[in-house]
Amino acid sequence: MDEARILRRGLSPRLWLAGGWLLLALLAAIFAPLIAPQDPLAQDLMLERLPPFWLDGAEPGYWLGTDSLGRDLLSRLIFGGRIAFIVAFAAAASACLIGSALGLIAGYFGGWADRVISRIVDVWMAFPPVLFAILLVAVLGTGLSSVIIAIAVIDWTRFCRVIRAEAMSQARMDYVESARIAGYGRIGIMLREVLPNVLPSVVALLSLEMGIAVIVEAILSFVNLSISTDDPTWGGIIAEGRLSIHQAWWVLVFPLITLIFTVLSFSQFGEGLKARFDPVLR
Amino acid sequence: MAEPLFSVRGLKVALPDMTRKPLIGRAPLAEILKGLDFDLPKGSVTGIVGESGSGKSTLGRALVRLIEPSAGSISFEGRDIGHLSEAELRPLRRDLQMIFQDPMSSLNPRHTIFSIIAAPLRQNGLGDRLKERVAEALQRVGLPQSFAGRYRHELSGGQRQRVGIARALALSPKFVLADEIVSGLDVSTQAQILTLLEKLAAEMGLTVAFISHDLSVIRRLCRQVIVMREGGIVEASATDALFDNPKETYTRDLLAAIPLPEIDADWLQPPAKAPA
Amino acid sequence: MEPCLEIRSLSAVLPNGQRVLRSVSLTVQPGEVRALVGESGAGKTMIGKAVLGVLPKSVRIVEGEMLIEGESLGRLDAKARRTLIGARTALIPQDPLTALNPSRRIGPQTTDRLVRILGWSGEKADERIRQLLQEVQIREPERVLKCYPHELSGGMRQRVLIAAAFAAEPRLIVADEPTTALDVTVQKQILRLIAQLQRNHGTALLFVTHDLGVVAKISQKVSVLYAGKVVEEAATPDLFASPQHPYTRALIAATPRYTDPYASLMPVNETVLAGLADEVAGADRAWRPSHG
């Protein structure tokens, strides 16, 4: 017990670092119009491929430089964050809701419900996820909502598998039998006894899934299947940066760093939360 | 003998045997209880003793209807409850309570002690005056009121088992199943829990089925004993008769295998060969 | 005669500074059975682990010495210590199921130690194990050697582990609650076997248990532990005839006896517990200044 407590205290810095970055990025995205130094869409061919502020030839006000059309990179990253976060929250929440509910039912009730749900999951997971996403967006048409639907439809299985396994082990606990003795019905037991014990895993997975959603959105933007090309997205900026890597490396590097930090933060934040949530466990 | 609370006739239970489950298809059924007949007299403690695999826990779970018998009858106050549905059982739950072996696993780590003891009260129409009733239940098992807000990991093993007893007795049930409730505890704690149960059972006039592998404990607590082996009853009689004059060889073997805390140089000697 | 195992005022602490062993001293003479009895958290298993050099990393030994046949473990480097412990000691574990690797057959699992640590040839090790399996009254050693652990009953698994422990002819065996997971009738057979092999091989035994009944039957000497402290040490017959420490008396009174139901199962008295707490706190006060 003491050992676990010390371990948990050691986890805190990563929770703070990851949470700090996410909060910063989220606030920047929410208040993008107030914070962004420039209009992210304003093109100015006189200002094309300005380097970041510490290099020779930088212009004040264009902190991270500009791309080949003279658009301010920092502003584009900030506005790109809006889409990244919308997708992260909406897609991860939908995947979580569908997956956790089905996983809970399969794991706790077992029997034919489990057989049917598990079979669907198996079939689902046989599709290569990125190709599946591209296919879905191609069918649904591009746009923010199709991206969100595609991610939710593909990734609910991740929640379903983990929550099913946890619910199964919970269902074997004596407190589940004890609730039957107390007169609870099956659904009451599932909600009162099983659900609270799988919640930490749900939270950790949810955070992880947000990171994954950000990546998938970036991939879809990269192959030009996300939303309209005018709005800046991280994947879109990376795709453009790739074309001018030799003339303006920063257009590729800064969005990549932003993406990596964000995705890493989501997964670390989730793990950190789970560890913090867990003090009541052995 | 007092009128029986439980009257069990020809009780058989078969459960899926997962060790023999084929790769595809259902596991074959294994008969765990092979036709038991016995009565549990009202207001007294009956010991059910046996080694692992004797079916004693299965029997207990059939009595409180956590599992359904495959044949035979379990009549509780004259009514056969063996094949009632979950919904039909619900009104009976109030009278059929259980204390579990492992107080760790039987208390949900996410609920406070208050919420754990309150659960059966809420479900059985005693949701009014909850605070009062939980306080009373805690007091009955000798736990301070401040424990209501705690979680199971903040309690010692003995305290957890007291909570288990408080939860089972909160409804003032007619019957309590105590399934190996002290086997995970230290001897000093074990003595406390057993004397507590002994006292409460007498005070509340409870009918208790006390499942244990330990005959020493049974002798102290129980008025009659059922000795089980491999799903059948070997011997059932009043406690003193059983201990002073065991009829069956198996019962005698069980008694002889208990290491008493006293010096006995012969105990570890190989058994004398029976004369040919 | 030189003791087989000697522990001199051994103290261990957890990372948070809490002392888990409090200047424990005990000796096991060659061929003798010493019981270590105590309730959970008394540190009895910890002592066994310290002797075998398998303490968890978080537990740090801050004081004391352990000698196996006169050789001090603290003076040896890690490799020499492992070799010494490996050659002279063995363990009979509590849970025979988790102590065996479920995916390996009994044969190779039990001979491993003989081949790896003692450098025996495979045939010699096989032969030895077969002989020991017969000693623990396993009727078909050939068949058992080819089994996986889950194919054997609990009692059989424990017999296999006893055979494996005695196979290397260790001078000292640590038995950590070896019968706690077993039914009483099986327990009796296993205790009988351990006693018989111990006598025939002249092995010293450090027998860790919580059950005073088992202590009475198997040991010649006994150390009673409470909170990592030896509160009483005696020859076993003396301990039961005239227990000196109030805690020992309380433990004996709490242990159920079907022969005497109303004189046993006595809850441990609050004053005894308070006295113990004082004793432990006093020992810690006396200990702390010199070790900061």
Residue B103 C-alpha from the chain's centroid: 13
pLDDT exceeds cutoff 50 at C137: yes
Per-residue pLDDT at C2: 87
Chain B residue numbers touching A179 (CB-CB < 8 A): 119
Q: Across the interface, which of C183, C252, C264 has its CB nearest the CB of B213? A: C183
Per-residue pLDDT at C288: 65
- The pLDDT mean for chain B works out to 92
What 3-state class would DSSP assign to C16? coil
Distance from CA of B238 to the nearest CA of C (A): 14
Lookup result for tokens 């099956």: A186
Is the Cβ–Cβ distance between A70 and A46 less than 8 Å?
yes
| Closest Cα in chain B to C182 | B52
Q: What confidence tens digit (pLDDT) does each residue in A31-81 have? A: 988 888 888 888 888 888 888 888 887 778 888 888 888 888 899 999 999
Distance from CA of A275 to the nearest CA of C (A): 20
Q: Across the interface, which of B52, B186, B268 has its CB nearest the CB of C191? A: B268
Is the Cβ–Cβ distance between A104 and A190 less than 8 Å?
yes
Would the CA dihedral through B62, B64, B65, B71 be positive or negative? positive
Q: At what angle do helices C246-254 and C270-291 cross, to 10 degrees?
A: 140
> Both tokens of residue B134?
């939980």
CB contact C95 to B (< 8 Å): no
Which of A48-62, A110-124, B36-50, B115-129 has the least mean pLDDT? A48-62
Residue to substitute from B64, B123, B163, interface A, most A β-carbons within 10 A? B123
Distance from CA of A38 to the nearest CA of B (A): 50
ipTM of the complex: 0.87
User: What is the DSSP secondary-structure string of C8-37?
Assistant: EEEEEE-TTS-EEEEEEEEEE-TT-EEEEE
Among the residues of chain C, which ranges form H helices? 44-52, 78-88, 106-116, 122-135, 141-145, 154-167, 184-201, 212-218, 236-241, 246-254, 270-291
Binary contact (B124, A1; C-beta < 8 A): no
pLDDT exceeds cutoff 70 at C46: yes
Range C123-142 average pLDDT: 92
Which of A37-41, A113-117, A275-279, B72-76 has the least mean pLDDT? A275-279
Is the Cβ–Cβ distance between B107 and B116 less than 8 Å?
yes
Residue B31, φ and ψ in degrees, nearest 5: -80, 110
Per-residue pLDDT at B276: 43
CB contact A119 to B (< 8 Å): no
Select the more confidently predicted residue: A130 or A277. Answer: A130
Per-residue pLDDT at B12: 96
Chain B residue numbers touching C252 (CB-CB < 8 A): 261
- The pLDDT mean for chain A works out to 86
Range B115-129 average pLDDT: 92
| Closest Cα in chain B to A199 | B110
pLDDT exceeds cutoff 90 at C265: no
CB contact A3 to C (< 8 Å): yes
CB contact C111 to B (< 8 Å): no
Binary contact (C256, B214; C-beta < 8 A): yes
| Closest Cα in chain B to A197 | B110
- Per the rule left: phi > 0, alpha: psi between -120 and 50, beta: everything else, C213 is alpha
Binary contact (A6, C15; C-beta < 8 A): yes
Per-residue pLDDT at A4: 46
Among the residues of A31-72, which ranges form H helices? 32-35
Range C42-53 average pLDDT: 92
- The pLDDT mean for chain C works out to 91
Per-residue pLDDT at A229: 61
B228 vs A24: CA distance, rounded Å: 67
Is the Cβ–Cβ distance between B115 and A189 less than 8 Å?
no
H/E element, B80: strand B79-80
Query: Which residue type, as a one-letter code, is found at position C144?
Result: V
Q: Across the interface, which of A173, A188, A280 has its CB nearest the CB of B105? A: A173
Distance from CA of A174 to the nearest CA of B (A): 4
Q: What confidence tens digit (pLDDT) does each residue in B133-149 have? A: 999 999 999 999 999 99
Identify the chains in contact with B, defined as 3+ C-beta pairs within 8 A.
A, C
Distance from CA of A117 to the nearest CA of C (A): 31
Q: What confidence tens digit (pLDDT) does each residue in C63-112 have? A: 899 999 999 988 889 889 988 998 899 999 988 888 899 999 999 999 98
Binary contact (A6, C16; C-beta < 8 A): yes
> Both tokens of residue B180?
């190996």
Reported residue count of chain B is 276
pLDDT exceeds cutoff 70 at B2: no
Distance from CA of C210 to the nearest CA of B (A): 8
Chain B residue numbers touching C264 (CB-CB < 8 A): 216, 220
Residue to substitute from C39, C184, C215, C231, interface B, most B β-carbons within 10 A? C184
Q: Taking the CB of residue B250, how many other CB atoms lie within 10 A of it?
A: 18
| Closest Cα in chain C to B242 | C258
- The dihedral over CA atoms of B241, B243, B246, B252, expressed in degrees to the nearest 10, equals 180
H/E element, C225: strand C221-226
Chain B residue numbers touching A185 (CB-CB < 8 A): 86, 90
The percentage of residues in chain C with a pLDDT greater than 70, rounded to a whole number, is: 98
Distance from CA of B208 to the nearest CA of A (A): 15
Chain B residue numbers touching A186 (CB-CB < 8 A): 86
Domain A65-277 is found in CATH 1.10.3720.10: yes
Chain B residue numbers touching A115 (CB-CB < 8 A): none
> Both tokens of residue B69?
């018998």
Binary contact (C192, B268; C-beta < 8 A): yes
Nearest alpha carbon to residue B154 among B114, B184, B124: B114
Per-residue pLDDT at B39: 95
> Both tokens of residue C225?
């532990």
pLDDT exceeds cutoff 70 at B272: no
Chain B residue numbers touching C218 (CB-CB < 8 A): 268
A273 vs A277: CA distance, rounded Å: 6
Range C268-288 average pLDDT: 85
DSSP class of A72: B
Q: Which residues contact A5 (CB under 8 A, 6 or more apart)?
A: A279
> Both tokens of residue C248?
């020992």
The domain made up of C5-99+171-286 has a fold known as Rossmann fold (3.40.50)
Q: How many CB pairs under 8 A join A and C?
A: 9
CB contact C58 to A (< 8 Å): yes
pTM of the model: 0.86
pLDDT exceeds cutoff 60 at B13: yes
B103 vs B220: CA distance, rounded Å: 22
Q: Where does the pLDDT of residue B83 fall: very low under 50, low under 70, confident under 90, or very high at 90 and above?
A: very high
Q: Which residues contact B181 (CB under 8 A, 6 or more apart)?
A: B99, B100, B101, B161, B164, B165, B193, B197
Quick one: B79 exposed, middle or buried, by C-beta within 10 A (0-12, 13-18, 19+)?
exposed
Range C225-247 average pLDDT: 95
Chain C residue numbers touching A2 (CB-CB < 8 A): 14-16, 18
CB contact C252 to B (< 8 Å): yes
Per-residue pLDDT at C264: 83
> Both tokens of residue B103?
């107080």
Per-residue pLDDT at A171: 92
CB contact C267 to B (< 8 Å): yes
What 3-state class would DSSP assign to B9? strand
pLDDT exceeds cutoff 70 at B208: yes
Lookup result for tokens 């958290």: C41
Range A139-145 average pLDDT: 86
Q: Where does the pLDDT of residue B27 fall: very low under 50, low under 70, confident under 90, or very high at 90 and above?
A: confident
Q: Across the interface, which of C192, C213, C266 has its CB nearest the CB of B258? A: C213
B208 vs B169: CA distance, rounded Å: 11
pLDDT exceeds cutoff 60 at A180: yes
Residue to substitute from A1, A173, A175, interface B, most B β-carbons within 10 A? A175
CB contact C15 to A (< 8 Å): yes
User: From residue B136, how far is each of B116, B132, B141, B143, B156 by CA, in Å?
Assistant: 14, 6, 9, 10, 21
SS (H, E, C) A163-224: HHHHHHHHHCCHHHHHHHHCCCCHHHHHHHHHHHHHHHHHHHHHHHHHHHHHHHHHHHHHCC
Distance from CA of B142 to the nearest CA of C (A): 14
CB contact C103 to B (< 8 Å): no
Residue to substitute from B108, B130, B177, B181, interface A, most A β-carbons within 10 A? B108
Range B50-54 average pLDDT: 92
Q: Across the interface, which of B253, B255, B263 has its CB nearest the CB of C240? A: B263
The percentage of residues in chain B with a pLDDT greater than 70, rounded to a whole number, is: 97
pLDDT exceeds cutoff 70 at A3: no
Is the Cβ–Cβ distance between B159 and B143 less than 8 Å?
yes
Q: Which residues pair with C65 in a beta bridge?
A: C8
Domain boundaries, chain A: 65-277
> Both tokens of residue A242?
């790739």
Binary contact (A174, B90; C-beta < 8 A): no
pLDDT exceeds cutoff 80 at B270: no
CB contact C83 to A (< 8 Å): no
